Structure 1
Amino acid sequence: MTSFALPEAREHAAARSQRRALRPTPRWWRDASAVFAWAATLFVVALWVAGGGLTAFGSVGEALSDVGRLSGLLASVLMLLQVLLMARIPLVEQAWGQDELARVHRLVGFTSFNLMVAHIVLTTVGYSAGTDLGVVGTFVDEVLHSPGMVLALAGTIALVMVVVTSVKRARARLRYESWHLLHLYAYLGAGLALPHQLWTGEDFTSSPVATVFWWGLYAVALVSVLAFRVVLPVVRSRRHRLVVSEVVAESPTVTSVVMTGRHLDRLPVRAGQFFQWRFLDGPGWSRANPFSLSAAPDGRSLRITAERVGASTERLATLRPGTQVLVEGPYGRLHTGVRTSSKTVLVGAGIGITPLRAILEDLPASPDGVVVLYRVGRQSDIVLGDELFDLARAKGGRVVAVVGHRRRDRASWLPVDAGRLGDAEALLRIVPDIAERDVYVCGNPTWMDAVIAAAHEAGVPREAVHHERFSY
C-alpha cells in the first residue's frame, strides 16, 4: 500500500462554492412506499376473501381454481408494483437508492412471475377437473374461447422473455443495451394482461371498491411511467439543451466528456449521482447508458468519465463538440446528502473512482476529514490522479493507493502482496477511526461486497455505508 504525496491544490472556480444545497429525500419515504406496497397486496387478499375465496372450496377442482385465482390476483398486484418500481418516481428512487431498489425489483419480479405460473397451472388443472378435455385440452380451450386469453398469453410470453433475460447467466451474455430493450417488454406484458383481467376476472368487477382499486392502480402505474420515464426526461432535455463542449482522453482507455447547457444551476443534481445519457451523434443514439458525474456540478457544465469496455463507451471518444445530448435523471443516493457524520472514507476501484472524485469535490474542507482509498491493478491504471491529489489536499485529507493484482485464494478487496492481512484489519490500519466515518464504495460488484463486509466488520454501521452498483 502506497500513500501518494499530494501537490498543492488548484484554485476552484467561484461558482463551485455557490452550488445550491439540495436536501436528500428522507429515508422514511422508503418505509412509506413499503407500507403502500404491503397494504395494496393485503387489500387484494381481502378482496379475494370478500368474494368468497375461503368459502368456495366445495371440491378439489374448485379449491385449485380459487387458489389459482388468488395467485393471479397477487401476481397482478405485484406486477403493477414492479412497474411502479421501474417508473423512476423521484421520491421512491431517492428514498431507496439504486442498490436496494434493484434488489426489491428483482424479488418482486420473480415472485410475481412464479405466482403467474401458479395461476395458470392451478386454474387450468382446477377447470379440467370438471371436464373431459384433460389439462392440455382445457388450456387450449381457455386460450381460444375465453375473452382476452390470447392477449394474456402474448403478455405472458413477453414476461417470460423479461424473466429469462434477468437470470444472472443470461444477463452476463447480453449487452446492457440489449438487456434494457428486452426489459421494456415488462410494460407490454402488463398491458396485454389487462383485457383478460377485466373481461374474465370477476374479482376486478365484483364490487365498486374492487373496480376503483384495480383501475386506480393501473392508472397510477401508467401515469407514473409516462410522467417520469417519458415526460420529465423530455422536459429536462429541452429545458437544459445539453451539448458536448469538450472530449478529453484521460488515458488510452478512459475518456471524459464535458457538456454545457442552459440553466444547469436549476438541475436538481448532486455530485456522485448518475444520468442515463443519449448522444445524438448518429446510429445508436436511442440506446441510453448510465454514467456518473465525475465532477461536482457547478451550474455551468456536467462531466462524465468512462472506461472503454464496449461499443457504447468507445463512442464517447469519437463525440464531436456540439453534439446534442438527451438525459434521464439524476438518479442514485451516492452523494454527500446522505452522510451521517462529519468525516468520510471514499473507497473506489478502477473507473469506480469517478463518482467518488465528484463527491470528494463536494465535501467540506476539514482536517483529516476525508480519506480516499484507490484500488488499482497497476500505477498506470490510475485515473484523474492529479485531480484527486489536489482535491484531497484542499479538503485537508489524503489519498492512499492500494496497488497490485487481486487475490485469487479468497474474496478480498486487497491485492496479493497484502499477505495475510485481513480485509477489516487493513481498513483499520489505514483509517483507525473508520467506525466513526461514512464510507462510500464504488467499483466491481464482487469487490464492493468485500469492502462493505470489511467495513461492517470494522465497526461501520449499516446506515453509514453508501454504495451504488452499476451492474444489471
Structure 2
Amino acid sequence: MSTTTPESAAAGARVPLPSRRTVAAARRSGPARRSPSWWRDAVGAATWAGLVVVVSLWLADAQVQELSRDSTAALASLGRLTGLVSAYLLLVQVLLMARIPMVERAYGQDVLARRHRLIGFTSLNLLVVHVVLITVGYTGIDSANVVIEFVDLVLDYPAMLLALAGTALLLMIAVTSLRRARARRRYESWHLLHLYAYLGAGLALPHQLWTGEEFLLHPWATVYWWTLWAAAVASVLVWRVGLPLYRTLRHRLRVVAVVQESPDVVSIWMRGRRLERLPVAAGQFFTWRFLGRTGWTRGHPFSLSAPPRDGHVRITVKDLGEGSRSLTRLRPGTRVMIEGPYGRLHGGTRTARKVTLLAGGIGVTPLRAMLEEMPQRPGDVTFVYRARDEADLVFRAELEQLAEHLGARVFFATGPRVPGRDSWLPASAGHLDDARALQQLVPDIARNDVYICGADGWMAAAHRAARAAGVPERHIHEERFTW
C-alpha cells in the first residue's frame, strides 16, 4: 500500500493515503490509551500524604514544645520544619519531571512544568528561610556572632559544604528560570542549564540525611527518607536515562530528508526500525537530539506531524530561533536520539464521537497527525486552521486530501489579527463574535471534544470561544509548549 514518503513530499506529489478501515484499525490497536481520571487524584493524594508524614516527623521530635521554650529555640525549631518541607518539595520536583508514565499521562507536560516551577520556587524560598532561621537560632543558643555561627555550621557539620554548593546551584537555576531571564535564552540552552538542578538537589540534601534529627530520630523515619531518595534517583535513571537510551538503540532513527514546506517551515523525515512498536499516539511529542553536530546535547521538543508508517516518522519545525534554524542544515544519515513520547494531546483523551481540531500556525503539526489517526465517520471531525496568509498554510494539500478521504471538514482562516481585541479569528471575520463564529462553523460544537494547539495568546482566545459556545471544560484538550 502506498503511503506518505519523503520522496513524494519533496516532489510535491499528491500523497496516496491508506484506507479509512486501515486507519481506524491502526488507531484501535495503537498506543493512545485512556488515562483513568483517578490517576491525577491518586498522584495528588500521595503528594499531600507525603507532606503530612514530613510534618509528623517534626512533631514526633517534640518540636511544638521547642516553640514555647524561648525565641532562639523556636527559631531553630521552625528552621528544622522549613528544612524538612523544603527537602520534601525538592524531591517532589524531581519526581514531577522524572517522566514517570503515570504522572506524565495524568497531567501532561505543560501542567507538570507549571507545577514544577511553582513547587521549585516554594522549595527554594523555604530553603533560604531554613538557612536563616537555623543560623539565627543557633546564634542565640550559642551566644555567638551570626557570621561566625554561619561559618562554624558550614565547616563543622557533615556535608554542609556540599549543601552550600547545592544551594548556590539551585539559586542559579531559579534566577535563570525567571520569565525575563528565560526570554533571553534559547529553549535548548535553558533546558541544558536546568539539568544542573539535579546536581543541586544531590548536593543540598545529604547533610539532612546525616545530621538532621528528624531523619535519624527513629529507624522508620530514616527508612522513609532514604526510600524517597531511592525512588527519586531510580525514577530519573529509569525514565530519563534508561528508557530513552533503550528506545534510541532499538529504533535506530536516522535523518533521510529535510523538506521545505514553506519559507520558514521544514519537515524532517527519519527512517528507523520497528517503528510500529514505538508507543506513540498522534499528537504526542518527543525530545529530539540530532547526533554528530554542534549542540547535539540540547534537546528539541517537537510533535510528530504524521503517524509513524512504513518505517518513516516525520516532524515539522518552524524557524523560531537559532536552535530550530540549525535543523534545516541536517544531513541525511544523521543519527537521532529520542526521549518520549510525552503529552496528553492525543485521541486517548477523547470523550465524544464528534471532534473539532483548532490549529493556529505551527500548532497544525500535532493536529494534522491526529486527523489522520482518529477513527471517524464522515462528518465526525472538523478541522479549523488559522494562519497569517495563504503562504503560511503548511500541509494544506495533505489536509484537503485527508478531509476528502475520511469525510472530515476543513476550514482555513487566513489574514491578519483582529485589531483591538484578543481573538482567534482573522480581521476579515472581526465583525463576528468569537463564540458565534465557532458555532457557525460547527453548529453542534457544544457536543464536541475540542483540541487546541497554537501560540499561547491564540490558544487562550480559542479556549474562551469554545467555553462561551457551550463546550464543557473537561471536553477541551490543549497542551502549551511555552517554557
Distance 1:162 1:408, change over 3 A: farther
Q: Which residue of 2 aligns with 1:12?
A: 18
Of residues 227, 230, 242 in structure 2, which corresponds to 1:219?
Answer: 230
Find the aligned partners of 1:421 and 1:239 in 2 and give their Cα distance: 52
Query: Where does residue 5 of structure 1 map in the other structure?
Result: none
How far residue 127 of structure 1 moved from its aligned partner, in angstroms, is 1.7
Closer, same or farther in 2 for the Cα pair 1:241/1:16, shift >3 Å? farther
**Pair 1:270-2:297 in alignment:** no
Identify which range, 273-282 or 403-412, moves more after superposition: 403-412
Counterpart Cα distance in 2 of 1:158 and 1:15: 52
Report the Cα distance in structure 2 between the residues aligned to 1:178 and 1:374, rounded to whole angstroms: 31
Equivalence map 1:137-216=2 (5 Å) = 137-216=148-227
Equivalent in 4, 11, 27 of residue 37 of structure 2: 27
* Distance (Å, rounded) in 1 between the aligned partners of 2:312 and 2:192: 30
* C-alpha separation in 2, matches of 1:431 and 1:386: 22
Does 2:73 align with 1:62?
yes
Give the CA deviation at 1:354: 0.7
Identify the match of residue 243 of structure 2 among 227, 232, 252: 232
SS of 1:26's partner is coil
Give 1:237 shift: 0.6
Instruction: Look up the SS of the partner of 1:55 in the other structure.
Output: helix
In the TM superposition, 1:29-428 aligns within 5 A as 29-57=39-67, 58-298=69-309, 300-428=311-439
Q: Deviations 1:186-212 (Å, cap 9, x if unpaired)? A: 111111023311222111111111100
Identity across the alignment (%): 54
For residues 406 and 279 of structure 1, the distance between their equivalents in structure 2, rounded to whole angstroms, comes to 36
Q: Secondary structure at the match of 1:295?
A: strand
The amino acid that maps onto 1:24 is R
- CA distance in 2: counterparts of 1:393 and 1:333, whole angstroms: 27
Match of 1:3 in 2: none
8 A contact 1:9–1:394 mirrored in 2: no
Cα distance change of structure 1 residues 254 and 212 upon mapping to structure 2, 3 Å threshold:
same
Residues 288 and 302 of structure 2 are in contact (CA less than 8 Å); yes or no, is this contact kept in structure 1? yes
The answer as to whether partners of 1:368 and 1:398 remain within 8 angstroms in 2 is yes
> Post-superposition shift, 1:412?
2.1
Q: Is the CA contact (8 Å cut-off) linking 1:29 and 1:95 kept in structure 2?
A: yes
**1:27 Cα deviation after fit:** 2.7
Structure 2 CA distance for partners of 1:79 and 1:182, relative to 1, 3 Å: same
Compute the displacement of 1:121 (Å).
1.7
In the alignment, is the contact (CA less than 8 A) between 1:365 and 1:394 conserved in 2? no
> What is the Cα-based RMSD across aligned positions, in Å?
1.7
Tell me how far 1:345 sits from its aligned partner: 0.7
- SS, match of residue 283 in structure 2: coil
**Residues of 2 paired with 1:222 and 1:362: CA distance?**
36
Rounded Cα–Cα distance in structure 2 between residues aligned with 1:242 and 1:362: 22
Match of 2:187, as an amino acid? Answer: Y
In 2, Cα distance between equivalents of 1:152 and 1:362: 50
Moved more, 200-209 or 390-399: 390-399
Residue 214 of structure 1: how far off its partner (Å): 0.4
CA distance in 1, matches of 2:266, 2:17: 24
| Equivalent residues of 1:99, 1:467 under 8 A apart | no
3-state DSSP class of the match of 2:127?
Answer: helix
- Summarize the Cα distance change of 1:408–1:182 in structure 2 as closer, same or farther, 3 Å threshold: farther
1:12 Cα deviation from its structure 2 partner? 2.0
Instruction: Specify the SS of the correspondent of 1:56.
Output: helix
Tell me how many residue pairs correspond in the alignment: 465
Query: Residue type of the partner of 1:305?
Result: T
SS of structure 1 residue aligned to 2:65:
coil
Tell me how far apart the structure 1 counterparts of residues 145 and 469 of structure 2 sit (CA, whole Å). Answer: 61
Matching residue's letter, 2:30: A
Output the TM-score relative to the length of structure 1. 0.95
- 1:294 to partner: Cα distance: 0.1
Instruction: Report the more deviating stretch, 379-388 or 361-370.
Output: 361-370
Quote the offset at 1:182 in angstroms: 1.6
Q: SS of the residue aligned with 2:340?
A: strand
Question: In the TM superposition, what is the alpha-carbon distance from 1:350 to its structure 2 partner?
Answer: 0.8
Q: What amino acid maps onto 1:231 in structure 2? A: G
Unaligned runs of 5+ in 1: 1-7
Distance (whole Å) between structure 2 residues aligned to residue 352 and residue 308 of structure 1: 13
SS at match of 2:306: coil
AA of the residue aligned to 2:46: F
1:266-303, CA deviations, whole angstroms, 9 ceiling, x for partnerless residues? 11111111001111242222211001000022262211
Q: Which residue in the other structure is 1:451 paired with?
A: 462
**Quick one: structure 1 residues 15 and 364, their matched pair in 2 at CA, closer, same or farther if it must change by over 3 Å?**
closer
Distance in 2, matches of 1:324 and 1:365, equals 36
* SS of equivalent residue, structure 2 residue 333: coil
Is there any run of 5+ residues in structure 2 with no aligned partner, and where?
Answer: 1-13
Q: Deviations over 1:117-137 (max 9, x none)?
A: 221122222222234434333
- The 1:143–1:456 alpha-carbon spacing in structure 2 relative to 1, beyond 3 Å, is same
Structure 1 counterpart of 2:317, one-letter code: A
Q: Conserved in 2, the CA contact under 8 Å of 1:435 and 1:460?
A: yes
Encode CA deviations 1:397-418: one digit per residue, 9 max, x unaligned.
2111221222352322223333
Q: Cα distance, 1:99 vs. partner? A: 2.1
The answer to whether the 8 A contact 2:30-2:279 is kept is no
Counterpart of 1:28, as a letter, is: W
**Retained in 2: the 8 A contact 1:266–1:299?**
no
Alpha-carbon distance between aligned partners in 1 of 2:193 and 2:144, rounded to the nearest angstrom: 36
- Equivalent residues of 1:271, 1:355 under 8 A apart: yes
